Chains A and B, each alone.
Chain A
């Protein structure tokens, strides 16, 4: 049993805090929030230069290969600063999945660009009334030189800017995981504004042709890939939630210590301080279950129950 945070991870966290902190001052975020897309290209570039986009990418593909756990560390810091960067979809849903399930040529083609910040590859795991990418309603039909995908994915991040979108479809021979080019014929994107303030996209596909080289996995391998992508994404989102909540709690603690009513700081009323203490307890719980899920995934161990536990929290 070992809860030690390695020195490498500590460095990742510090570096991420420093860069994200610089780019997320309130004024800067206000400007970004006026844009159509809640995406800060400058910040993305800075993260790439610091190596943080390649945390879970092999060195031979331009990454620094610290493993999945380090990605959750980054996600937590992104959450803490509500930074406008699609780390979960691009780095976890797409890159980390490709790294584990893509062919060598696919990895060589996409991962270096992701690590250097020049290429975005996103992932689309959700459909209407279906959050399980191992049993999608989207369909795929075999054809010469590849397959044709039809159906709708929703709330897809960075769909307009991405070079490819990783997604799954059902074929007669079973599940298939492919990289769809959002600029290909047959793709229509509709912006969807979501609670987080981001613009995401409904991705409608009508017999979109996917060449063989963009087929990532089929049958049981495809199922493993989507299971992994889903678990990793849920864990990364949990890590992000740890960051968001921890920061909100600390802001609240600080504010209530300064704000005075009836001649005293409102934090000295137990009705106030105890609610903040409850947040503290909940966040510690969320942090522990997230660390457990992340460390199991990091070691390539089964993590289904642990991921769901983190998600429930």
Chain B
């Protein structure tokens, strides 16, 4: 039992940290003040993403065959942690969650096109699972794909297709068997190029980020864009969701927010004299956050360490997800409380404290409590897989 990074792991951490400083150019910082480009997609984002590809930083966890370095989960986590800490809108879901599934299941041509493009930092992929009437009960989705010779005709609507406004493909779950009794066994996965005829979208502005409603109207999609066997899509979806969680929760980003607020509070005068940080209630807030942050670090480390030893227990994965997502929201709220009214000023306005990062994070934070599987469902899983309690009816 020695819960610390080894010197080699620390060196990797430092290397990524230094490199990411060169990615976060002044142009990129300026570009992301525009709410449209906060989550990436602007020209400077494209440029830096492609540079990361050219410099060999994309797909480090992939197999050597795919041009990756087969990093361990611990190393991959260290990379992710630093990239998130830098603030770069790196498309983790594309690189870590979807692309490996495509690599393992697509035909050679599409594999070269898509996986190769991602490796070069030229391709991003949006995830098209949710629909207006299919959220938690995802397998009830109704967007349908019908075979027509060498093609599939796709019709339907997806909801919350984040990043589709700049992504090159949508990773689409569609129904290929209308038999209702085959709910989970009638789904197939496709890659839909976003420039194909019949594809359109409208923006959806949420409290935090922009996402999209996407529409599929008589799209004629060549069969080569089908990924995996017909009606075998569910396995690909659930496999992907499990990996996805790993890149959603990291310690670095929230830790740096905490450090910055501590610094801010130590330098900023309090209304009654002295500094903000000298007030006992501020110290309590900061101490509470610090003790919660330690757990984020430990939970993330334990999770990747466990994955390097063998498969991750389902309950443990859910523990990490519920704890981290709910703690993040609490962290943003508590830090905002310390900063007071000025903390709520948005990044593009005069007087924004710490570039308005916490204000923004607070608005985005809640997404993680339901994205990637709602916390209610995660608690069901913990009770069943962790404590062998009977399944909820």
Residues of A within 8 A of B (CB): 1-6, 9, 69, 249-250, 253, 256-257, 264-265, 267-270, 273-274, 276-278, 280-281, 284-285, 288-289, 291-292, 294-295, 298-299, 305-306, 308-309, 312-313
Contact = CB atoms under 8 A, between A and B. Distances in A.
B1 interface: yes
B59 to A, nearest CB: 23
B196 interface: no
Given A253-B383, A277-B379, A278-B379, 11 more contacts: A1-B301, A3-B3, A3-B306, A69-B1, A267-B383, A268-B393, A270-B380, A273-B380, A292-B3, A295-B2, A313-B291
Given A270-B392, A306-B294, A1 B387 contact: no
A289 B3 contact: no
B379 A253 contact: no
Contacts of B382: 277, 280-281
19 contacts: A1-B4, A3-B1, A6-B1, A273-B383, A273-B392, A274-B379, A274-B383, A277-B383, A277-B386, A284-B319, A285-B299, A288-B295, A289-B298, A298-B1, A305-B290, A306-B294, A312-B288, A312-B291, A313-B295
Interface string B312-351: 0001100100110000000000000000000000000000
B3 to A, nearest CB: 5
B302 interface: yes
A267 B389 contact: yes
B308 to A, nearest CB: 9
B393 A292 contact: no
Where chain A touches its partner, the secondary structure class is helix
Interface string B369-393: 0000000101110110011111111
Contacts of B306: 3
A102 B350 CA distance: 62
Interface of B: 1-6, 9, 74, 287-288, 290-291, 294-295, 298-299, 301-302, 305-306, 315-316, 319, 322-323, 376, 378-380, 382-383, 386-393
Contacts, number: 117
Nearest to B298: A288
B299 A284 contact: yes
Contacts of B295: 285, 288-289, 313
Nearest to B391: A268
Where chain B touches its partner, the secondary structure class is helix
A110 B6 CA distance: 39
A122 B227 CA distance: 68
A284 B387 contact: no
Contacts of A249: 387
Contacts of A274: 376, 379-380, 383
A270 B379 contact: yes
Contacts of A294: 1
A286 to B, nearest CB: 9
Nearest to A288: B298
B136 to A, nearest CB: 13
A184 B318 CA distance: 57
B240 to A, nearest CB: 24
A249 B323 CA distance: 17
A299 B291 contact: no
Nearest to B381: A277
A288 B302 contact: yes
B294 A280 contact: no
B390 A268 contact: yes
B264 to A, nearest CB: 20
Contact of A291 (B3, B6, B291, B391): B3
B302 A3 contact: yes
B3 A2 contact: yes
Contacts of B383: 253, 267, 273-274, 276-277, 280
Contact of A1 (B2, B294, B376, B388): B2
B290 A295 contact: no
B5 A285 contact: no
Contacts of A3: 1, 3, 301-302, 305-306
A102 B316 CA distance: 43
Highest count of chain B CB atoms <10 Å: which of A5, A281, A284, A289: A281
Contacts of B294: 289, 292, 306, 309
A257 B386 contact: no
Contacts of B4: 1
A313 to B, nearest CB: 6
Contacts of B392: 268-270, 273
A80 B7 CA distance: 37
B1 A288 contact: no
Contacts of B388: 253, 257
A7 to B, nearest CB: 13
A294 to B, nearest CB: 8
B319 A280 contact: yes
A292 to B, nearest CB: 5
A253 B301 CA distance: 27
Contacts of A309: 290-291, 294
A305 B391 CA distance: 40
B322 A253 contact: no
7 nearest A-B residue pairs (beta carbon): A253-B387, A277-B379, A288-B298, A277-B382, A273-B383, A267-B389, A274-B379
Highest count of chain A CB atoms <10 Å: which of B299, B301, B380, B390: B390
A298 B393 CA distance: 46
A249 B383 CA distance: 11
Contact of A299 (B2, B316, B379): B2
Contacts of A4: 1
A209 B360 CA distance: 65
A294 B3 CA distance: 10
Contacts of A69: 1
A2 B4 CA distance: 7
B1 A280 contact: no
A57 to B, nearest CB: 20
Contact of A5 (B1, B323, B386): B1
A164 B386 CA distance: 45
Contacts of A268: 390-393
